[in-house]
Amino acid sequence: MIPEEAIARIKAENSPVEVALSHNLELKKKGTRWLGRCPFHTEKTPSFNVYADYAHCYSCGWNGDSIKLEAGLSDLSFPKACLKLGATESETAEDVAERLKRIEERRQRQEQAEAERRGENKAKRARWPQFFLGLHCKGPDCEEIGDLKTLARLRGIHYAGPWLTEQVYGTLRFLIWKGHTAWVVGDRTAAAARRLDGKLWEHGTPHKSDTLPGSEKHPIGLTKGSLPVILIEGEPDYLATLARLWQKGQHEQWQVVCMLGAGARLGRHAAKLRDREVVIYAHGEEAGRAAADRWKDEATFAGAKSVTVCDLPDGQDINDLTEKEIAA
């Protein structure tokens, strides 16, 4: 006879997932549950779901906790399955209480470690500069300047930029960074900041574009997926290309990727272009055409399905193209 206390303890100590994995069941994690092919009937499509305290097959209806699962998988009686999972017939309530206490302490330690990790991430995000919300820049450098459109014009950012800010949250922002009014273009993971006065940042090796803290210098907008990709050079090109697609209602059919300058390489990110169509819009000048050739080689080597370079007329970039198309 297995005491009730022992049953409670082995359930706490052996989750259904641990039992299933100890029997080499092939399971894949799906959020908080695990999914695999049911061990109690024959199936091709997995319908056996393992949760924190029970398992259920949505096809044959099998349902049970970790002890029933052990019994089923080992073909044992209930008491024998309990013994296999570590229960003893002589266990007292005190023994069990002591062991349950240790399990609870372990769980709390894990929770604490998790909370610390979350806190670190929050602190990392807090290091991002404060964005100015709304359409008005309140920075000391732009007291006389009205709204984003004026700011945009100052730096030759296509008027589509401010328009996009309203459409695609977070694409373009104006802020004060390192003591200068800056404009920022970003996606959810990467963001580049440039000074509004057009000068270079004053540190180390100055670049026109600079990434914000918490952000890595890598192409903006490049995520894995299967959408065809439009590769462009700089941040104004990024805004202009997004605007162009939005105007045509094609923003969900393409992924626009900003390389943060003609000198950039795809490097390890090239792998994300595998099996995808790639269209490159090069600036109509020497540096742009050289960049396009380099990216074409990298994308081709990475296994892109096709790579097309659109050579623009001398002195033109995709801003000009967008402007013309929107005006037409």
Q: Which stretch binds Zn ion (CB under 5 A): 6-14, 56-64, 103-111, 251-259?
A: 56-64
* Closer by beta carbon to Zn ion, 39 or else 214: 39
Q: How far apart are CA 148 and CA 58, in angstroms?
A: 55
CA proximity to 244, closest of 164, 180, 149 = 164
- Any bridge partners for residue 27, and if so which? 36
First-to-final CA distance of the chain: 86
- Does residue 41 touch Zn ion according to CB under 5 A? yes
- Our finding on whether 38 is near Zn ion (CB under 5 A) is yes
DSSP 237-253: HHHHHHHHHHHHT-TTT
For the bound state, the minimum distance from the C-beta of residue 207 to Zn ion, rounded and expressed in Å, comes to: 58
Under rule CB under 5 A, residue 63 binds Zn ion: no
Going by DSSP bridges, is the β-strand pair 277-282/306-311 parallel, antiparallel, or unpaired?
Answer: parallel
Q: Which of 2, 7, 57, 257 binds Zn ion (CB under 5 A)?
A: 57
Q: Which stretch binds Zn ion (CB under 5 A): 33-41, 71-79, 170-178, 235-243?
A: 33-41
- Which three-class secondary structure state does DSSP give residue 311? strand
C-alpha separations of 251 from 167, 198, 230, 244, 255 in Å: 11, 29, 11, 8, 8
| Alpha-carbon gap, residue 69 to 19, rounded angstroms | 7
* Stretch of 5-13, 40-48, 118-126, 202-210 contacting Zn ion, by CB under 5 A: 40-48
Please state the closest distance from residue 56 (CB atom) to Zn ion, in A: 9
Residues pairing with 183 in the sheet: 174, 194
- Position 257 contacts Zn ion (CB under 5 A): no
- Of the candidates 193, 218, 69, the residue with the CA atom closest to the CA atom of residue 130: 193
**Region of 22-30, 57-65, 85-93, 106-114 interacting with Zn ion (CB under 5 A):** 57-65
Binding window for Zn ion (CB under 5 A); candidates: 59-67, 172-180, 255-263, 316-324 = 59-67
Sheet of strand 306-311: strand arrangement: 255-258, 229-232, 277-282, 306-311
Which residue lies nearer to Zn ion by CB, 26 or 197?
26
Does the footprint of Zn ion cover residue 76 (CB under 5 A)?
no
Binding residues for Zn ion restricted to 268-307, rule: CB under 5 A: none
DSSP code of residue 134: S
Among 8, 12, 60, 168, binds Zn ion (CB under 5 A): 60
Q: Per the structure block, which two tokens stand in for 271?
A: 């792998």
Task: Pick between residue 25 and residue 220 the one whose CB is nearest to Zn ion.
Answer: 25
Q: How many residues are present in the chain?
A: 328
Output the smallest distance, CB 24 to Zn ion, in A. Answer: 17
Find the shortest distance in angstroms from Cβ 68 to Zn ion: 13
| 47 vs 316, beta carbon nearer Zn ion | 47
Query: Cβ closer to Zn ion: 45 or 90?
Result: 45
Give contact residues for Zn ion (rule: CB under 5 A).
Answer: 38, 40-41, 57, 59-60, 62
